[in-house]
Structure 1
Amino acid sequence: MTSSSTDTNAGRVCIVGAGPAGLSAARALKRLGIPYDQYERHSDVGGIWDLDNPGTPMYESAHFISSRKTSGFFDFPMPETFPDYPGNRQILAYTRSFADAFGLRGAIRFDCPVQNIERAGDDWEVTLADGTTHTYAAVICATGVTWSPRTPEHPGTFTGEIRHSSTYRAATEFRGKRVLIVGLGNSGADIACDAAASADAAFVSVRRGYHVIPKHLFGIPTDELNAHGPELPARVLRPVLTALLRVLQGDLRKYGLPKPDHKLLESHPLLNSQLLHHLQHGDVAIRPDVASLDGNRVRFVDGTEEEIDLILYATGYDWSIPYMDKKYFQWQDGRPDLYLSTFNRDHHNLIGLGYIEFNSSAYTIFDHISNLVAQYLHDQRHNRQRAEKFDRLIAEDRPQLSGGIHFIDSARHRSYVDSHAYKKYLVEVRNRMGWRELTPGMFDNVRRSASRKPARA
């Protein structure tokens, strides 16, 4: 049972969300004995990887774009039986097994949306959808960034069907239709491949060219090569990888893709090994940006037109924390300005976990940053001097975390970090603070306490 607004919060922490980031935070707090409550609006853990979770952007053909060996929680590897790039059901099962292994379900209230969070003196007043309020010494927002679909508007009127990719679930939805996918991020590329295999005709509208990176190089998952090979500076890695891709793929303009207006690595990587296959076989065709709509026809900026039954916008998401007023975060270009993409600069007991873009797997990075979050919150009650030292870092430290890469000028990439640079700086901050590093066996006490409890039905 949670603490009511009339009770003392006794240093209790509120975690909103029980996806991978929320579970990582919960385990880190549990290790240090920090009392917390966790709220999840859905009926189980898993976040976006649960296709039954209302509003999830996930679809049946979705797989990780990072590989099995690089994608798990810090000390909880994915099963060897998983393929190199696990599918969404496997990832969901893995995430739930993590929650069970460390006994994290007991502190979670499921089917319990958070309606509003307001400042209450030095604490936070959390109002649930049932109208009850509870006071906490700190709040960790871990609800993710893919819940507010962004849909552009084009001039004209369209008589067919218009949807955002967040509503898409299965390739069967394309049967008998001429489909236009607008946008070519990783989800857009996946969905375009589904359309190529199932639709009567499939097109992808793009505004810029992309560097397409295959999921395997020399038979090894690409991110494994990056993670375990020599760590090369961008000025060395980029030309080597660019030359290799040119040898393997040739000039992608022959498939209709525009020449990229940026160098390799300066944008979020497009990892896909199927898209070029479908382009090579004519199963899907590239079109430029949409100019206007007219009945069942779509006109593009180059003057060409296509008859379309369904427009699916794979155009991303607006970041939001809908249960908190924007005044509590310094929002810039649609992104909250957080130290290390996590710590609120104005309210030191307000944390945003998962509000980050980077070129790597998220789960392990969640563990590394959760480790710092937990030790900082613990210091707020037990080592005030060290907590105040970190307060000064939050206020004054603005590290360059691009790893020497000049990311393209967009709102998304202005908050982008290079994973190698980010993880290195977390180590530097941890050492500066004298906090404990993540080590194998660090959470054995949490696992042992979970094993002493009856297994869930």
Structure 2
Amino acid sequence: MDTTTADRVCIVGAGPAGLVMARRLRAAGIPFDVYEKHSDVGGIWDPTNAGSPMYANAHFISSRFTSGFYGFPMPESYPDYPGWRRILDYIREFARTEELYEHIRFNTAVRNAVREEDGNWRVTVGQEQRLYRALIAAPGVTWHPNTPEFPGQDTFTGEIRHSSTYYHPAEFADRRVLIVGAGNSGVDIACDAAANAAAAFLSVRRGYRFLPKHVFGLPIDVFINQGGQPPAGVSVPEDPSALIDALVGDLTRYGLPAPDHGALESHPIVNDQILHYLAHGDIAAKPNIARFDGDTVHFTDGSAEVIDLVLFATGYRYGLPFLDEDLFDWHGGRPELYLNIFHRTIDNLYVLGFIEFADAAYQRYEEMAQLIAIDLASTGEEKQRFTNLKKEDRPDLRGGARYIDSPRHASYVEAHTYQNALSTIRNGFGWAPLTDETSTRR
């Protein structure tokens, strides 16, 4: 047992969220240690990490123009939508440039973290225990697959896997493949199946909206966030749903159900390639599964298909396996947290990254990390003021927006409303906003 004074902060995870958390604590002069169970930084973006959901053709759904860290833009040589190899290189170059490697213990999993009576955290790493004054969990959200159950599933003679086990299109060769779920990874993998399987099918329970990656030659996030203009003489609808409908057309033509929500009421599915494959008959849309029977999958519309391989692209459960689940109140599989960051009653427990929004993540993560640093650096009256906020403040983080009632959207926020909430607190404590100029060591 390490008996030194517990004056340091423990960060669990050296993915993008853990890295920006480390940068914010260092900037605030707060001593810390980072523990990473894998051999290098990068988290899910390294497919050699056990449990990584990465697949060969994975790309960002936000463009390189909006996806970088503060003060560390993605290289101009990168394409609009970088693949995982470039993203992994970029994350590691960020960690090297920011000199974060020296703060990280690799190949070191946090086995357990228990809060002592004096408020400190007893953290077990390997065979060692250490005391910390605060615990920040930044483990990522795509490590614990969510796998549904359907009637007759145990009779199925084919193969059933979660999409987290998928890596290469060669896995589909000469097989009749069913992808279940139309999230971003689901439709990406469905495109691989369309191009490589003997027959491919995509099962969707409800109507989705599929956003094109480019609008008038610009990445869609650049067009929306930076005020892109249509060509002269082209009128663009102000309503986002009408704009997407105009660009994409009637999805029912492809056998898909009509969208059951507005464009801003669900996590965006940024993929128009799937519509290309549907339009060419390389993949067929199917409704939800009704039951399995031997080698056959039956669907709720009465149709059936002989299938060799089913991939459940059905998302992930949030998990903090090194903490007692009873420490949190869970809603829709998500822990209830102030601003999706702070435990409301355990004053030195933080979770970074358990949030969903229609925006690039890395700068938002660092804005969240700055608030953690503010809390940890506060003393006296300021510290008490922050503690009271955690207990009592319940801001509307959705800005009046309505989102689909699903576990995926339980922690969903409207990005601009959320940023404003963070900045209000930051300004109230007299801290400067993060900028490209002030956030880097270079």
TM over 0.5: yes
Counterpart of 2:67 (choices 64, 71, 76) is: 71
Q: Which secondary structure does the structure 2 equivalent of 1:316 belong to?
A: coil
CA distance in 1, matches of 2:177, 2:280: 17
Partner of 2:91: 95
Identity of aligned residues (%): 54
Partner of 1:37: 33
Counterpart of 1:185 (choices 173, 183, 186) is: 183
Q: Does 1:342 pair with 2:341? A: yes
CA distance in 2, matches of 1:216, 1:300: 34
Counterpart of 2:162 (choices 157, 160, 164) is: 164
Is the contact made by 2:212 and 2:248 (CA closer than 8 Å) also made in structure 1?
no
Partner of 1:241: 240
Partner of 2:124: 127
Letter paired with 1:419: A
CA distance in 1, matches of 2:82, 2:312: 25
Q: Which secondary structure does the structure 2 equivalent of 1:125 belong to?
A: strand
Shift of 1:239: 5.8
Matches within 5 A, 1:368-447: 368-379=367-378, 383-444=379-440, 447=441
Q: 1:14 to 1:198 in 2, by over 3 A?
A: same
- Residue ranges of structure 2 left out of the alignment (5+ in a row): 229-235
Letter paired with 1:334: G
Bigger drift between 254-263 and 432-441 goes to 432-441
Is the contact made by 2:354 and 2:411 (CA closer than 8 Å) also made in structure 1?
no
Shift of 1:372: 1.5
Is the contact made by 1:390 and 1:433 (CA closer than 8 Å) also made in structure 2?
no
Matches within 5 A, 1:21-420: 21-121=17-117, 122-128=119-125, 130-156=126-152, 157-229=155-227, 240-379=239-378, 383-420=379-416
Q: How many residues are treated as equivalent by the alignment?
A: 432
Is the contact made by 2:146 and 2:316 (CA closer than 8 Å) also made in structure 1?
yes
Q: Which secondary structure does the structure 2 equivalent of 1:428 belong to?
A: helix
Letter paired with 1:209: G
Is the contact made by 2:211 and 2:248 (CA closer than 8 Å) also made in structure 1?
no
Q: Which secondary structure does the structure 1 equivalent of 2:239 belong to?
A: helix
Is the contact made by 2:318 and 2:334 (CA closer than 8 Å) also made in structure 1?
yes
Q: TM-score, normalised by structure 1?
A: 0.92
Higher helix share: 1
Q: Which secondary structure does the structure 1 equivalent of 2:87 belong to?
A: helix
Partner of 1:233: none
Q: Which secondary structure does the structure 2 equivalent of 1:286 belong to?
A: strand
Is the contact made by 1:75 and 1:440 (CA closer than 8 Å) also made in structure 2?
yes
Is the contact made by 2:142 and 2:318 (CA closer than 8 Å) also made in structure 1?
yes
CA RMSD of aligned residues (A): 1.4
Q: Which secondary structure does the structure 2 equivalent of 1:150 belong to?
A: coil
CA distance in 2, matches of 1:330, 1:50: 32
CA distance in 2, matches of 1:207, 1:238: 28
CA distance in 2, matches of 1:287, 1:175: 21
CA distance in 2, matches of 1:312, 1:182: 6
Partner of 2:2: 5
CA distance in 2, matches of 1:251, 1:443: 45
Q: Which secondary structure does the structure 2 equivalent of 1:71 belong to?
A: coil
Q: Deviations over 1:61-100 (max 9, x none)?
A: 0000001010011111000000111100100000000100
Q: Which secondary structure does the structure 2 equivalent of 1:118 belong to?
A: strand
Q: TM-score, normalised by structure 2?
A: 0.95
Q: Which secondary structure does the structure 2 equivalent of 1:343 belong to?
A: coil
CA distance in 1, matches of 2:54, 2:171: 14
Shift of 1:238: 8.5
Q: Deviations over 1:282-327 (max 9, x none)?
A: 0111001001111111000111100100000000011110110012
CA distance in 1, matches of 2:135, 2:393: 22
Letter paired with 1:227: N
CA distance in 2, matches of 1:421, 1:113: 35
